[in-house]
Structure 1
Amino acid sequence: MLDRGQYLCLAENDHGSDKLLVTLSVVAYPSRILEPKMREIKSHTGNKVEMKCKTEGRPIPTISWILANRTQVRGHYKCIASNPAGADTATVRLQVVAAPPGIIEEKRKQLKASRSQTLWLPCTGHGTPQPTIHWVLHDGSVVRSDKPASDTRILMYENGTLRIRDVTPAQSGKYECIATSSTGSERRVVTLTVETQKSAPQIVETSQRLTELSFGDQLRTVEISVLRSTVR
C-alpha cells in the first residue's frame, strides 16, 4: 500500500527531454496480523478468555484459528490470516491456572448475641483443590476440626462451622475463618459483640419474726433480704 502513488519517468539527451507520468494503484496486498507474533494469556479455571487477531489486507483476509493440542484447552493457539496475495500468522499461548479458594459466606459480618446464647458461625470453603479451613479466635488461638479449642464450649465441625456454646461478654471480639489451598487463601471475619443484660432487683427472703401491730401503731423496722440488680 505504501508504494501506491504517481511515478515520473524522465528521459534526457543533448537534443531535448521527454517525461511520462505513471499512476500506480495497488489493488491487492498480502494479509498482515497487527497483533504481536507471540503473546501469552493466563486465566483461572472457569473464566472466559477472549483472543483477538486484528488484521489488514486487500482483499480482506480470512481468519482461522488452530489449536495444536485439541485434547486440552490450554496450549498454543495459532491465528492464520490469508488472502490471495499472501498469509500471516501469530501465536497465543494460553496458560490455565487454578483459582485461589473462595468462601461462600459474606466476607465481613457484625454479629450481636446475648449472654449464654449458643452461636453457629458457618464458613464454607470451595475451590480446586478443596481448601482446608481453620479459625483464629478472638484471643489469637487457632482451632481446626482436628485441633479442638482449650475451651470445651468452642467446637469446629468438619464443614468449617464454628460453634460457641454459652457465650460470655469476655468472648466478644473478632473471629477469623481462613480457607487455604496450594493456590492461595481467602478469609472471613466475624466481629462478635456479646451484650450484657441488666435484671431488676428481686426479694428472695423476709424475716421469720412475727410482728404484731395495733391500729395506729408505727412500723419502725422491717428486715428484708434483696437480691441486688446484677449484670449478666
Structure 2
Amino acid sequence: MELLSLKTSSFRIEVSTSPPKSTDIAVYLGKSVTLDCLALGKPPAQISWILPDRSFVREVGTVHTLLSPMSLLQNGTLRIHTPNFSSKGDYKCIASNAAGTDTITYQLHVAALPPSISEGAMHTAIIQPGESAKLSCQATGEPAPKIMWVSPRNDVISMSSDRFQIMGDGMLVLKKVRITDEGKYTCVARNSAGDDVKNMKLEVESQDCSDGFPTTHHQYAGFNHKSQSGITSDVTLCGNWYSQTRYFMDVAWTHNAGST
C-alpha cells in the first residue's frame, strides 16, 4: 500500500492506493471490475473521475455514459458492471481538497476468451431403443459461450423440446431414442470471440438374439420354425436394422410336414 501525504497549513490530504500510481488492468468481456480510489483528507477529499471518453464523473450513483454501465460508489470506487470493447482506455481518479490534489490512472484492457470444449475427440454413444441418450458438451470461455446442437439431419437444436433437452452445462438429452436418431451430433459453443465444435456419434442397438438378430415369436397357422431348443410350433422372426428408415425381416420357417 502506498501512502501519499501533502500538508498545507492546517489542511492535509492522504490518498491511499493499493495498486501503483499508474496501472494496467485486463478484464474479460462482460466481467465486472472495480477501480479503487480511496482518499482520506482534512477536509474530506472530493473524488472525481475522468473517463476514456473525456466525460467527468463526480456524483455518487449511476454513471450516464455511452461506454458501458457503471456506477460511482460512496467511497470513491468506480465499478464497471459489464465492460465491452468500448470500455477500454484510461480512467483517471482525482482526489482533491484545499490542501491539493492527487491522482491515479488505470489503463483498462478488455479481452475475450474464445470457447473451448473440454472433450475434443469424437466418441460414440451406444443406446438401447426407448432409453434416454445423454451427450455432454462442457465449454469454457469469456463471455460464457452459448451452446447449441446440430442433429444428423442438420437441424439446429438451440432450445429444449418434447424429445430434446439442453441442460445448463450444455448436455443434450434425447428422450425415448429411436433408430432414426442415429448419426453424428455436433455441439457448437459460441461467444463474441469465436466458436468451438465437438462431434459425437449416436448408435442405437437392436434387441439381442442368437446370431446377432433380435427374435420374437408369433403363432402362424400352417407354418412353424424349428428353434434351437427343438420347439417347432411357431415362426421365429429375426430382424435387424440395416438403415435408419427400413426394417428387414429374415424369416425361417418349416411347413407342418417338416419340409423347408
Q: TM-score, normalised by structure 2?
A: 0.42
Q: TM-score, normalised by structure 1?
A: 0.46
